[in-house]
Structure 1
């Protein structure tokens, strides 16, 4: 089948490797094609070099052809890009007809929402691999025309226009229709352009047909002239609400081909730490948020101090030494402070005391002179600056007085050139305050440009606190493991729980820029997450320590027999694992209790067995089973498909951790104290044993325990006597395990995890 000194690609005539053929043409690498009718449809393609060396499987062939290409960027322009190309090549293996295709398309569709190519800014073999799989999959026709994957369809049609790929598709692939505007409403809206400063595109959807709308009016917005900003305070870790703000600001900056600024609002040294700055930068990078400039409000402390002095001279600021509680009462009642009538000279003198941090200065604050009778309490002379002798994480003891957020935000937004400040709707009452302060600053500091505000709904979830101050209470009081606790809504807490950052991004963009505030359940985001992890994560087996029952197989192997089985039958890149067959095996108590004497059952990845005898304790629990293998039996006829583990010393100790909400009340009212609704038991543990293959698991790995659910490795196997610690990942459908536990969740007793029925869905790279 090979020709001397030639490269030959041999493949099944019923499964043409379109990507390999297209890559060879783009790489100008000559190959001979042999469509062998003797090749089975599932047999891998084989590339034979010079009649001797062979490469088997399209992924390996693609890597070779990309490296052999005259255009070196085919396999990535940098080591990082090359690694991402390899990840996409592995991912492309799952783009085949079946239940998982729609979910996999959803992943690529989201990923391409703001990209032209999968890796870098040029065509790579990653694009060709995914294109080839879709080109050869008839199911893609229906999905493409559904309009649910506009970004993927745009990318696909673009690749189909490339002469080399077009020729391969026409010669070897099934016919395809181009996506029409009616089949892709989001793309049609995008192509319509912006009219009157209106953004008419839509963001990537978290799930097909659930696209979040970004059709909002940005006043005076035009291409190339929009600057947005994300201004986190370094007083804690980012939570999912901050992630939404960062991503929406990035979205509109990119939509208008503008700029995104990242600015740390470090105006309160009592709460801020450089640790928080480092972690926020880490989270921003993980979320894929790219900013054009990094700055700090503390960069502008000199300008803010100068502006404050000018505002005093203009009569817009006055010094006030009214006690805090009395001031709060006066603001609530709309009563003017006696200090409001101080002269400019007195205010300037006290301002100098404040800057020096003297005893007189510490008793005073600066307040804007606005409207104490206004129904909007945000306009009742808000505070502009306060003394604080605390060491500032960045400026040390240089300053003794610091601006408030209300003062610093509009001034620094303007001086940095922010054109549109996007904020959550909780700031809606402060919009007029923002504009008034900005107008005063423009009077004091001529030339400051206008800033336009736009508010969007903040994320609110049931049984969840989103206030950093309240989350900090849990940290300071030792009620959680820190800001990365898996019960926290922080980016790192959710990631530690097992949420994939791709799922978080997908969920956030699905919300769009709506102003409607709704109390959300957590099920949607975890459903997205399940669709991503299920098709690609490896499968393992675990059985609870206190709930295991021995089954003796009379005709089982006299000595252990080891076989290899796939870790994920639908995703070969997950690899293989060793399964040991022994005469005695462990079953779960719940499974053993469901078996009837004489019943034929299926032992997963082994075969059928007939249970002949069942021994029970006085309380009715199964204590031992006897049976015999019946490998010629048909697994389709059995009711029970059982997970099992061999009775060997190679089993791995496990701790399975599951979690509940920190709060017992779905929605706290304004008068509620969160401390009154703290869940006394929001975490519990099950001791178990797992198959020997789990020894190689690494921190952060995602896996499925058969019939138990999904888990993330929090602590891998560090020594033989210490357990692997696994955190249960919600699947968006099953309620808290606590509600289905047969014993109290906080009991010292070993809690049995309820069985979970799992469905294949979608994957990511």
Structure 2
């Protein structure tokens, strides 16, 4: 296979095609070229969910040729999962082919394709029951010879936007309820029909409607089981000195849990209040809050505040604010410290059951003994003695560092997280939430799983690095004989050219290598917000990545920027700003004359809509970018040069007639030009500009901050000297940029597209005398164009 074909094969596999389909596609040049173009237009060259990939394949093979102008818009709906089923895609094809090259109203398009329509499982179940009732006689007669595809079609006719997987599941369940299990006769007749050609055609139609085709679940949360299924074995714990422990809920424990929760899904988002949240936490929020929302359940915001030395009220307030900004509403806000009394009582119970002991080893000794897999000298001390010492720890009678409570697990295990983990340690430090009530604090390994159980969490969702802790998580719940939630691990989110470690982020902030936790160069959510990134774009980015266990790659920054541009392209009004002003005097325009020209604020809006425009003053003196003028012209240059013309955007063509130089005969002071108000001249180059309205009024002067990648390397965290990789040019401040007068009333947080320059947001440093803008992202979409 040629190198180019190998590259195409790899690209097609990345979007979820199976290898056979991908190879067959490469054998067809037309489909190959179409699919390659679609993948790049959709900006998913780094890969995507298989469901999206299947829809893209359908676009490549079935898209109406007379509506190619609308294909990018359709692909945007697909990659943002607004169009997510074959039925919606078919409706889109029909709508767009009838619209052809004409503009269309998005509202009409979305209504035609069922965008935003959510069909509940209850509605689907009711419709399936009605279809079965109407066709009951035929179904009972044909039994399993009934064409499931026809039943599927009847349901789909009534509920065109229903989830096909749920439809198929309910149809199968209803068939079994009505007919019972298959008999030998059912199987025999099915085999006979399979040989007939008409049956094959019908079967193919049924397969087309069957959601069990090679595609991923349309809903990323379908991978999670329902609460009533939580009776299965969670994990097997292998001990060195006793039989294998298979942890699971008993029927009695599960029934009591379901009665307390009424079968609802309960999740939690449990950040530690020891720093600001970063984009990895955005994924954690999406998974935990998203699952609860999708299932009609509840999600706690639970502060994991077991280390009073590292926690601050500042962080607590920040987390609550950011969760709300990201669009999530907690069912309840609580703290691990709310359960300190219950945790203490369960620790006493654990000692009484012989599963914990008070230890006097130093941290260094504990580390050494763990490395050698040796038991602590105090591991077998009498239960009564450990109970007495633990009470003395609680009363503050033992010095800090002189005793800990450790769980009696298995020091010979192959899993280091079973090496008698610490449950409690002494800290004479007031707690931000509970004050000075306690001088012993539970560890994460002890408290996390217990609080999950106490809160009846159905799905304890965490990243893959916690996978090895499953054993200790379930061991502890098992020995305490309390309810066991599902634990589900997913891959953590890393983004290129950034660090995600809180320790590293804290170092950057405390060493003043950045301007605080909300520095726009950081991947903290506060930094992204200050940079002008919307929570909608972040959530779309996270959803596009999906909930997988693949932890072998880092997501390219360009992929995030793609979603940012998609959002801002729809929401940020256009305006004009000149960063490095060069004065141009238009000599054939009267000095006192100022014309108000119409500039497009929303280019895609109808010209009859006055709100799509804003007024730009045009006068004898204008300012252009220094980079838009050269003393020497060339064929590949479309800016202004001596004797050359360019079009001032929204205004007139101008021609450079003279260049005024300073005394050094090199520095350009100003350009003289003439304009052609008839617009008969049609130069190729179009440049932006800002006018000087009159001699008495200066152009609006602003400060502009341009941000670039904080680190030069894609994976700085893997470098030995990661600080040496900091990009020294990641922030450039431009003073004295000129803006159109309409920006004078811009407020903090307002977002704009500066034409030809990028998307910008008004920074919080702005005052009534000085506007400061941060560049959110450039206009160039390197993710979509380069395929990276």
State TM-score, norm by structure 2: 0.66
Counterpart of 2:620?
583
Query: Secondary structure at 1:601's aligned position in 2?
Result: strand
Distance in 1, Cα, partners of 2:526 & 2:742: 28
Contact 1:212 1:510 in 2 (8 A): no
Distance in 2, Cα, partners of 1:610 & 1:419: 71
Number of residues paired by the alignment? Answer: 579
Deviations 1:248-304 (A, max 9, x none): 122322333333222221111111122222221222222222332332211110111
Is 1:491 aligned to 2:537, yes or no? no
Q: Once the 2 structures are TM-superposed, how far is the Cα of residue 584 of structure 1 from its aligned partner?
A: 2.1
Bigger mean CA deviation after superposition, 706-715 or 655-664:
655-664
1:596 to 641, 644, 648: 641
Q: Once the 2 structures are TM-superposed, how far is the Cα of residue 537 of structure 1 from its aligned partner?
A: 1.9
1:691 to 732, 740, 745: 740
Counterpart of 2:150?
none
Is 1:650 aligned to 2:698, yes or no? yes
Is 1:713 aligned to 2:762, yes or no? yes
Distance in 2, Cα, partners of 1:319 & 1:710: 59
Q: Once the 2 structures are TM-superposed, how far is the Cα of residue 441 of structure 1 from its aligned partner?
A: 2.2
Is 1:433 aligned to 2:472, yes or no? yes
Counterpart of 1:510?
544
Q: Tell me, which stretches of 5 or more residues in structure 2 are unaligned?
A: 1-68, 86-98, 124-153, 174-215, 230-261, 631-638
Counterpart of 1:703?
752
Distance in 2, Cα, partners of 1:255 & 1:458: 21
Instruction: Mark the CA change 1:671 to 1:402 in structure 2 (over 3 Å): closer, same or farther.
Output: farther
Distance in 2, Cα, partners of 1:153 & 1:179: 15
Distance in 2, Cα, partners of 1:287 & 1:606: 41
Counterpart of 1:730?
777
Deviations 1:729-755 (A, max 9, x none): 12484579xxxxxxxxxxxxxxxxxxx
Contact 2:82 2:116 in 1 (8 A): yes
Deviations 1:167-212 (A, max 9, x none): xxxxxxxxxxx9969998983235445899xxxxxxxxxxxx9977
Is 1:290 aligned to 2:297, yes or no? no
2:555 to 499, 520, 545: 520
Distance in 1, Cα, partners of 2:156 & 2:645: 54
Counterpart of 1:187?
163
Instruction: Mark the CA change 1:434 to 1:672 in structure 2 (over 3 Å): closer, same or farther.
Output: farther
Instruction: Mark the CA change 1:716 to 1:403 in structure 2 (over 3 Å): closer, same or farther.
Output: closer
Query: Secondary structure at 2:629's aligned position in 1?
Result: helix
Q: Once the 2 structures are TM-superposed, how far is the Cα of residue 702 of structure 1 from its aligned partner?
A: 0.3
Distance in 2, Cα, partners of 1:353 & 1:606: 83
Query: Secondary structure at 2:364's aligned position in 1?
Result: helix
Distance in 2, Cα, partners of 1:621 & 1:489: 41
Q: In the TM superposition, what are the counterparts of 1:98-497 in structure 2 within 5 Å?
A: 102=74, 151=116, 187-192=163-168, 213-218=220-225, 221=228, 224-360=263-399, 362-442=401-481, 448-497=482-531
Bigger mean CA deviation after superposition, 664-673 or 381-390:
664-673
1:624 to 670, 676, 690: 670
Instruction: Mark the CA change 1:210 to 1:604 in structure 2 (over 3 Å): closer, same or farther.
Output: farther
Q: Once the 2 structures are TM-superposed, how far is the Cα of residue 324 of structure 1 from its aligned partner?
A: 1.5
Instruction: Mark the CA change 1:557 to 1:332 in structure 2 (over 3 Å): closer, same or farther.
Output: farther
Q: Once the 2 structures are TM-superposed, how far is the Cα of residue 411 of structure 1 from its aligned partner?
A: 0.8
Bigger share in helix: 2
Deviations 1:470-509 (A, max 9, x none): 2222222223232222122222211111111111111222
Bigger mean CA deviation after superposition, 698-707 or 554-563:
554-563
Distance in 1, Cα, partners of 2:476 & 2:721: 33
Counterpart of 1:116?
none
Distance in 2, Cα, partners of 1:141 & 1:705: 28
Q: Once the 2 structures are TM-superposed, how far is the Cα of residue 582 of structure 1 from its aligned partner?
A: 1.8
Distance in 2, Cα, partners of 1:408 & 1:533: 42
Is 1:665 aligned to 2:713, yes or no? yes
Bigger mean CA deviation after superposition, 363-372 or 402-411:
363-372
Q: Once the 2 structures are TM-superposed, how far is the Cα of residue 234 of structure 1 from its aligned partner?
A: 1.6
Query: Secondary structure at 2:334's aligned position in 1?
Result: strand
Contact 2:661 2:670 in 1 (8 A): yes
Contact 1:537 1:574 in 2 (8 A): no
Query: Secondary structure at 1:346's aligned position in 2?
Result: helix
Instruction: Mark the CA change 1:526 to 1:211 in structure 2 (over 3 Å): closer, same or farther.
Output: farther
Distance in 2, Cα, partners of 1:219 & 1:98: 40
Instruction: Mark the CA change 1:468 to 1:179 in structure 2 (over 3 Å): closer, same or farther.
Output: farther
Instruction: Mark the CA change 1:715 to 1:112 in structure 2 (over 3 Å): closer, same or farther.
Output: farther
Counterpart of 2:38?
none
Distance in 2, Cα, partners of 1:456 & 1:701: 35
Counterpart of 2:651?
606
Query: Secondary structure at 2:339's aligned position in 1?
Result: helix
Query: Secondary structure at 1:348's aligned position in 2?
Result: helix
Instruction: Mark the CA change 1:235 to 1:619 in structure 2 (over 3 Å): closer, same or farther.
Output: farther
Contact 2:461 2:489 in 1 (8 A): yes
Contact 2:652 2:679 in 1 (8 A): yes
Distance in 2, Cα, partners of 1:600 & 1:437: 78
Counterpart of 1:570?
604
Instruction: Mark the CA change 1:186 to 1:482 in structure 2 (over 3 Å): closer, same or farther.
Output: farther
Instruction: Mark the CA change 1:183 to 1:254 in structure 2 (over 3 Å): closer, same or farther.
Output: same
Contact 2:351 2:383 in 1 (8 A): yes
Contact 1:609 1:630 in 2 (8 A): yes
Contact 2:706 2:733 in 1 (8 A): yes
1:638 to 683, 688, 713: 683
Query: Secondary structure at 2:762's aligned position in 1?
Result: strand
Query: Secondary structure at 2:508's aligned position in 1?
Result: helix
Query: Secondary structure at 1:319's aligned position in 2?
Result: strand
CA-based RMSD: 3.9
